[in-house]
Amino acid sequence: MLEKSRVIMQPLNQRNFRVFYLMMDGLSAEEKYTLYLSNLSAHRYLSQTILEETVLTANRQNREKLAILKQALGAVGFNSLEVENLFVILSAILHLGDIRFTALTDAETAFVSDLQLLEQVAGMLQVSPDELASALTTDVQYFKGDMIVRRHTIEIAEFYRDLLAKSLYGRLFSFLVNTINCYLQNQDETGSDQVFEIGVLDIFGFEEFQKNTFEQLCVNMTNEKIHQYINEVLFLQEQAECVQEGVAMETVYSPGNHTAALDFFFQKPSGFLSMLDEESQSGWSVEQSFSKRVQSFLDTSDTNAVYSSTKDGNGNLAPKDQGSTFTVMHYAGKVTYEIAGAIEKNKDCLSQNLVFVMKTSENVVINQLFQSKLTQTGSLVPPYHFLKIKGCKAALLSKKPSVACATGEAKKYLELSKLLKKKGTSSFLQRLERGGPTTVATQLRVSEHLLGRNLPKKTPKILKAGLVSTDC
């Protein structure tokens, strides 16, 4: 989910994820009343970029597309109550974004402004309103048996509110993928242990907008990495085989060398992603420090593949300082990125208070979303051998996973999580959660490492559209 931050903030002239608009236009008046939904402008996550010229024409189409979506969910095993529950969670995400905070004291500590809205959100998430408010506005830790409570500022409370919204959406997406995979595998009536699969690598295309930020940077560096792999397989390896077999080549294709741009992003310990992760662990208000580190790195770099936007490609000073920006010469063209806000977008670790509150949810899906551990790429760990076990979907939708769908590690996790209700045992949760990635940059590095490791084991078929399929 490279663009998970789209849930809370959209790029200029772009919109949020389509499912929210399908709900706003396609749900009946009664359904919207039950979910406290009104119109696009009433919800902060949807009102940032309302494209007026497309609203009227999209309404009818969205109603039809929502009906198609419901049919599709039914086709992969979701009943009407389960589909309704998905819309409840998605609606809760929208309402969560509408929660605002105010400072009632001189200390600028945050308090929830609208208690009625808080109760609505808590009701949809099926958690305690008081516990949700406390988790959003305070940080509770235990040290040697003593409880230490620190109140958040408005800025930090807003950050965790938005982070919870992103986490809910990302985990729900991963849950759907696991559940659909589980259902599809259970349709196999052959009983064969041999598994055939086709993997399709379908990522965002190269992006360049008027304003390019952290999301475009993640998308484009991934494209750069894939492009390098395609060049190696499609051109360099084929050319090497021709030379080895004595086949004459009239024209030798040279795809160009873009390793300098990749090194800027991925090298350790001085690459962009490494620096970003370090600064993301440093606390708050460190944007200026990060910008200085990036600028210093660029000043000492001897490549023209990446350069500060205060200079041109030849190293000459530009006429005007453009701030915290730099330019990358990608294979597809030159793109200038603004790194303001990158640290906040990179952080992907909920506070322990919010994780605990979500684990107490009486909504079976929400409870499972936060009881499940995360992989190193940030997605939910699927149930053990979910591709081979019948009835796995029922386990995914139940509050307590079945024995068949749980590994020994998962059992241990559930046993330890029971201790969290006791005073002084928050360290158990911290230890369990610490094993997973805490930043988007970490997840991205792991994903691309796994991709680079696994693709060579297959026989890739690279299509013109940019999709990569593999033969097992």
pLDDT at res. 390: 36
* Confidence band of 148 (pLDDT split at 50, 70, 90): confident
Neighbours of 196 (CB within 10 A): 7
pLDDT value, residue 96: 98
The predicted structure's pLDDT at residue 5: 84
| Cβ atoms of 320 and 307 closer than 8 Å | no
Residue 472's pLDDT is 41
Write the DSSP string, 238-260: HHHHHHHTT---SS-------HH
Q: Is the pLDDT confidence value at 265 over 70?
A: yes
Is 234 exposed, middle or buried, given 0-12, 13-18 or 19+ CB atoms closer than 10 A? middle
The whole-number average pLDDT for the span 218-242 is: 82
380 vs 180, residue with greater confidence: 180
pLDDT of amino acid 236? 73
**Cβ contacts of residue 132 below 8 Å, gap of 6+?**
118, 121, 122, 125, 357
Q: Looking at the predicted structure, is the pLDDT value of residue 154 above 50?
A: yes
Which of 167, 211, 104 lies closest to 347, judged by CA? Answer: 167
**Both tokens assigned to 271:** 């690459």
Residue 171 has pLDDT above 80, yes or no: yes
What's the mean pLDDT when you consider all of the chain? 78
| Mean predicted confidence (pLDDT) in 318-329 | 69
247-251, 291-295, 446-450, 458-462: range with highest mean pLDDT? 291-295
pTM for the structure as a whole: 0.75
Percentage with pLDDT > 70 across the chain = 72
Q: What is the pLDDT of residues 397-422, one digit of tens each?
A: 444 433 333 343 344 334 434 433 33
Handedness of CA 95, 97, 102, 107 (dihedral sign): positive
One of 1.20.58.530, 2.40.50.140, 3.10.180.10, 3.20.20.10 is the CATH number of 214-245+253-338, namely 1.20.58.530
Q: In this structure, which topology does domain 4-194+347-438 adopt according to CATH?
A: Four Helix Bundle (Hemerythrin (Met), subunit A) (1.20.120)
User: Taking 70 as the threshold, does the pLDDT of residue 11 lie above it?
Assistant: yes
How do residues 111-131 score in pLDDT, each as one tens digit? 999 999 999 999 999 999 999
Top-confidence residue, 280 or 388: 280
CATH topology agreement for domains 4-194+347-438 and 214-245+253-338 = no
Nearest partner of 264 among 339, 162, 359, judged by Cα: 339
Report the C-alpha gap between 161 and 93 in whole angstroms. 10
**Mean pLDDT calculated for residue range 86-107:** 92
Average pLDDT over every residue of 102-116: 87
Q: Is 33 helix (H, G, I), strand (E, B) or coil?
A: helix
Question: Does the pLDDT at position 464 exceed 50?
Answer: no
Beta-sheet strands, E only, within 41-119? 101-103, 110-112
User: Is residue 457 helix, strand or coil?
Assistant: helix
pLDDT band at 147 (very low <50, low <70, confident <90, very high): confident
pLDDT band for 296, please (50, 70, 90 cuts). confident
Q: What's the average model confidence in pLDDT over 254-273?
A: 81
What local confidence, expressed as pLDDT, does residue 443 receive? 82
DSSP 147-210: EEEEEPBHHHHHHHHHHHHHHHHHHHHHHHHHHHHHHHHTT--S--S-------B--PPP---S
Domain ranges of the chain: 4-194+347-438, 214-245+253-338
Tell me the per-residue pLDDT of 74-94, one tens digit each, with 9 for 90 and over: 999 999 999 999 999 999 999
Task: Return the pLDDT at 286.
Answer: 64
pLDDT in tens, 21-56: 999 999 999 999 999 998 888 999 998 876 555 555
Angle between helices 352-359 and 426-434 (to 10 degrees): 100
Q: Which residue matches tokens 């007026």?
A: 52
Position 2 scores a pLDDT of 67
275-289, 329-343, 369-383: lowest mean pLDDT where? Answer: 275-289
Distance CA 219, CA 127 (A): 35
State the average pLDDT over residues 108-112: 90
Q: Which pLDDT belongs to residue 388?
A: 35
Tell me what pLDDT residue 198 has. Answer: 66
